[in-house]
Amino acid sequence: MSAKIFGLKSIPEKEYFSSIEDVDKYALDGQAHYMQRAFQAMALDGIFCIEEKPTV
């Protein structure tokens, strides 16, 4: 789904998170809690990771 949003051919699951469920499945342990909070607090449509660092 994320590839369609950005018009790209492929984005690995661990680079783009489109929901809290994606975070639960694929996020690094130390980042998952903060990414979940960001989805809830900021009503985000997604979080893109660059070099394993969440970018909002």
pLDDT tens across 1-56, in order? 555 666 766 777 788 999 999 999 999 889 999 999 999 999 999 999 998 899 87
Q: Which domain holds residue 7?
A: 2-55
**Looking at residue 6, what is its pLDDT?**
66
Domain count for the chain: 1
Measure the CA–CA gap between 11 and 33, rounded to whole angstroms.
22
* CB-CB contact of 17 with 47 (8 Å): yes
**Looking at residue 37, what is its pLDDT?**
96
Residue 2 one-letter amino acid: S
